[in-house]
Structure 1
Amino acid sequence: MRTLQNLVLRFLSLAVLCGSLGAVAYVAQAADQQPAVGSVAPDFKLLSQENLPVSLKDFRGKWVVLYFYPKDFTKGCTIEAHNFQVDLAKYEQKNAVILGVSVDTVESHKAFCDAGGLNFKLLADTAGEVVAKYGSVRETGTSKVAARNTFLINPQGSIAKVFLGVDPNKHSEEALAALAELQ
């Protein structure tokens, strides 16, 4: 009888372990999957460079260009942010706002905006939760940063277009063209 109990306990332990590993694999898989076009964009609340909370639902009724980028002050990210700033009036004419998200801090975003003359919101996702919700995690050695992905979100809050692994040199133009097509 004792041997049967040990066998049952071992089986249950193995089942729990396998279930846990499956859950971990599911979470890892979910972090790599972007929300599909037509699905409701995952909501979030993050702090902006002004240290004020910003939620996606704050922008219902507007188009949102939600762009993820790896790091403030790096070459590609600086180019991409600069190009969005240059085109900002064109986005505003299309009833669109630009929201940049990275795992950098509020303070880093403030300095980046000040240095680059950026007049749109950069959001601090230091825990990487929103980056993961949008399947935009990129591992770099021992740390994780945001992958260079963009989501166009329509005024009703649904994903209208997804750009993966964008070229920072021409991405603002691509996003504007897609926005024009979608409208």
Structure 2
Amino acid sequence: MALQVGDKIPNFSAKDSNGNDFDSMSVVGKKSVVFYFYPKDNTPGCTAQACSFRDQYEDFKCLGAEVIGISSDSVNSHQKFVSQHKLPFILLSDNDKKIRTLFGVKPNLFGLLAGRVTYVVDKNGIIQLIFDSMLATNHIPRALEMIKKLV
């Protein structure tokens, strides 16, 4: 069953773009977090979304929030994506789709494309916003608006 607004973020772990182990409890319950699931590194929409989060990253940081991108791409793919676009935030490799399944992120376009969903979580680890849209750059203003409400 998919996570809903008001649910607590479950514990999960994954490899980050540096190949390090990431544990969700290192941020969840300590600060506000924007988790955004996206289909694929280096595709037009996903690159636009990542670069928009990059360009507004300081706004999120100033409000005490962390941004974390999640896709099923490999650690190696994430390393290249981060380097090429100078992404300052964490990307997690969900190559077995366990995190996507845990959150209940559904595929789009008749199951051909992994879903694009953003979750905004307050500092207590409770989901305050779920934004599901294939319009990549619409996620950033919606997430930032919710983070501002949480401060």
The TM-score normalised by the length of structure 2 is: 0.92
- Name the larger-Rg structure: 1
Matching of residue 52 in structure 1 with residue 20 in structure 2: yes
Q: Deviations over 1:17-59 (max 9, x none)?
A: xxxxxxxxxxxxx3xx2x1111111221000000001111101
Judged with a 3 Å threshold, the aligned counterparts in structure 2 of structure 1 residues 139 and 164 are, in CA distance, closer, same or farther, namely closer
- Give 1:128 shift: 0.3
Matches of 1:97 and 1:182 in 2, distance apart? 13
Q: How many residues align?
A: 150
Q: How does 1:82-101 map to 2 (within 5 A)?
A: 82-101=51-70
Matching of residue 116 in structure 1 with residue 116 in structure 2: no
| 1:69 matched residue in structure 2 | 38
- Give 1:146 shift: 3.2
Q: How does 1:23-172 map to 2 (within 5 A)?
A: 30=1, 33=2, 35-59=3-27, 60-138=29-107, 146-172=114-140
Matches of 1:139 and 1:165 in 2, distance apart? 9
- Give 1:157 shift: 1.1
Contact 2:115 2:134 in 1 (8 A): no
Code of the residue aligned with 1:172 in structure 2: it is I
| 1:175 matched residue in structure 2 | 143
Matches of 1:58 and 1:104 in 2, distance apart? 22
Structure 1 runs, 4 residues or longer, greater than 2 Å off:
143-146
Query: Alignment identity in percent?
Result: 29
Judged with a 3 Å threshold, the aligned counterparts in structure 2 of structure 1 residues 152 and 47 are, in CA distance, closer, same or farther, namely same
Contact 1:137 1:145 in 2 (8 A): no
**Unaligned runs of at least 5 residues, structure 1:** 1-29
Matches of 1:126 and 1:47 in 2, distance apart? 10
The TM-score normalised by the length of structure 1 is: 0.77
Contact 2:37 2:116 in 1 (8 A): yes
Larger RCO, structures 1/2 (Cα 8 Å, 6+ apart): 2
**Unaligned runs of at least 5 residues, structure 2:** none
